[in-house]
Structure 1
Amino acid sequence: MEKSSSSRGKKRERDEEIGTAAEEIDQFPSLEENLTFSDTLVAIRIMRAQFPHIDKITMQPFILRSQLYSSITDRTQVDRELESLRREKVLRIFKLNTGQDDHAIMFVDDYLKQIDLVMKRLEAKKPGSLVIFEWFKTHVIVARLEPSIDHQELCSLLSFGGEVKDEHVSLLINTGLLVSKTRQLIDPNMYWFAIPNIGSILKGLSQGRKELLSLLSRRKYKEMMMVSLEKKRLRLSPLDMRFHLRDLIGSGHLKTVQSPTGLVVRSKRRKP
């Protein structure tokens, strides 16, 4: 019972921290004033609250690992704190199928809401199939915290709910909760955990990266003031400029330089 009380206490502290972080967002109107943090969880909370509204796509907020790297100087600290939060089942980390070493971070509560959205869409079409999603939430997610799972372990965990059939696993794949590693030619018996509905957003992520880098490459010195750049809109991405700036700074494609007039964003492709 002591352990349970301790866990509830930690959760209350985290929830209070969420509220505090969200309330503070309005005090930081620009990315220049709100670029760096000292704590990974605080950074995630604030970036979550700043996740852009995306038309026609119901998506719970997620953060990229690269965005955290842009906000906290010590990457080892980020990785260590992410691992701790993952083990505490506060958040999940997803390997993204973007052709790069991209990882999305989503709070477990938001991930469960995303699964509920899948269930709601299927409620009218396949009401009898909804049980597999309950098994997935109850037995798989809580037990397997890593980004991937093999077929045998998946079926073993699902079987705590009832008899597992091939169509059950197929439904988890078809609704975007699992991605077969055969697509990456790695292991046909392994799956990545995935975020449903994220496909079109990932396409926009890749296109937005190219668009932003192209925008800077056309500038005389391959740079712009952060304040001016943040106000621009990207045509090819549903994600906003702030999201992309954090991502590209953290991944090393862009860097920031302090100038007398403010923060400058510069492309690292710039030649001397």
Structure 2
Amino acid sequence: MSRKRTQTLPDIYKPKRRLCSAAAALASNGQTTVISALNGDIGDVILNDTHAFLKRLRGLFPADKFKHKLPPIVLKHQLYGMMNDRTKVDQELNDLRKRGVVKLFKLGSEADEYCILFTNDYEEHVKKTMTALSMSPILIERFSSNVVKKCQDVCISKETLMMDYRFSDFEITQLVKASVITVKEIGNWWLSIPNAGTFMKCFLRGRKAVLTMIRKCKYKEILRKDLEHRKWPKICRLGLIYHVHDIIGGELVHCVQTTSGQLLRLKE
């Protein structure tokens, strides 16, 4: 009677769990990992939770519907609705700004209304816009390498533009013409997004449309999953899910957890 010898394979030959499984386990624990090789893109690193949610929101922006004349824009309050911890969002967002990953821009008339762009998206958009206006390649490169990459604030002074970055009055006028800076007050400018007016028009129209949908529902409330599956007017180009994050983060609706899912109830 022959006996088969049982051999133990060295660890190197044993099958290993896939890297994505480990990352998924970390994600389920609410942790953020610096691993992006999951999809073969080693350079695409997740730095913190806010960064991860920013990338998710960026993916919702329908750039094709704007014929790629706008960069992917994320509203700061959309993050508040996704993370439920404003202090953490602000701290992590500030860290991303210092690292040069994102830039903030003033949006609307309210003091706390801001939007966020990834720095690479903004730089590409600025270069494309200024090139289309036949502006000097030297001016484009100087604005990109100095203001875009070095200025972390939402506004910039004439003194900084002229003394630190060596822009002339004529060049500043060119920057205003390209809408990469807009007047805040005498001697100060907001850093701005060219064609932002188009975004604001679509954004306000879409917000009004989604709030009207909820207002027409019984008791002015609807399950979020039902709302997200409704037919969306084509004229509202940002998409329904983008606006759902807007009204939740902007606290325009009450969010109630039910056995059927999240219920959105319109605030009076």
Query: Do Structure 1 and Structure 2 share a fold, with TM-score over 0.5?
Result: yes
**Most deviating of 257-266 and 87-96:** 257-266
One-letter amino acid of the counterpart of residue 105, structure 1: I
Q: Compared with structure 1, are the counterparts of its residues 18 and 96 closer, same or farther at alpha carbon in structure 2 (3 Å cutoff)?
A: farther
Aligned to 2:227, which of 221, 226, 229?
A: 229
Structure 2: 5+ residue runs without aligned partners? 1-32, 42-47
| Aligned residue type for 1:112 | E
Q: Which residue of 2 aligns with 1:50?
A: 60
Note the 1:187-206 alignment, pairs <5 A.
187-206=185-204
1:9-88 pair list within 5 angstroms: 16=36, 39-53=49-63, 54-88=65-99
Q: Structure 1 residue 85: deviation in Å?
A: 0.7
Separation in structure 2 between the aligned mates of residue 236 and residue 100 of structure 1, nearest angstrom = 29
Query: 1:50-98: CA deviations, max 9, x gaps?
Result: 2223233522212111100010011100001001110111110111135
Structure-2 change in CA distance of 1:265 and 1:17 (3 Å): farther
- Measured in 2, the distance between the counterparts of 1:117 and 1:208 equals 27
Q: Find the aligned partners of 2:111 and 2:159 in 1 and give their Cα distance.
A: 28
Identity %: 29
Q: CA contact under 8 A between 1:201 and 1:238: conserved in structure 2? A: no
2:132 is equivalent to residue 121 of structure 1: yes
Counterpart residue number, 2:156: 149
- CA distance 1:241–1:168, change in 2 (3 Å): same
Cα distance change of structure 1 residues 19 and 116 upon mapping to structure 2, 3 Å threshold: farther
Cα–Cα, structure 1 residues 158 and 15, in superposed 2: closer, same or farther, change >3 Å?
Answer: farther
Task: Give 5+ residue unaligned stretches, structure 1.
Answer: 1-12, 22-37, 182-186
Tell me by how many angstroms 1:143 deviates: 2.7
Higher relative contact order (CA 8 A, sep 6+): 1
Corresponding residue to 2:174 among 148, 171, 178: 171
Q: Give the secondary-structure state (helix, strand or coil) at the position aligned to 1:142.
A: helix
Query: Using the alignment, how far apart are the partners of 1:15 and 1:178 within structure 2?
Result: 36
Q: Is the 8 A contact 1:140 1:157 kept in 2?
A: no
Deviation digits for residues 136-187 of structure 1 (CA, Å, limit 9, x no counterpart): 111222332110111111122331xxxx332311221121211101xxxxx2
The code of the aligned residue for 1:169 comes to I
2:244 paired residue number: 245
User: What amino acid maps onto 1:49 in structure 2?
Assistant: G
| Runs of 4+ displaced beyond 3 Å | 17-21, 97-101
Q: Could you say if the C-alpha distance between residues 66 and 259 of structure 1 is closer, same or farther in structure 2, counting changes exceeding 3 Å? A: same
The structure with the largest alpha-carbon Rg is: 2
TM (norm. structure 1) is 0.76
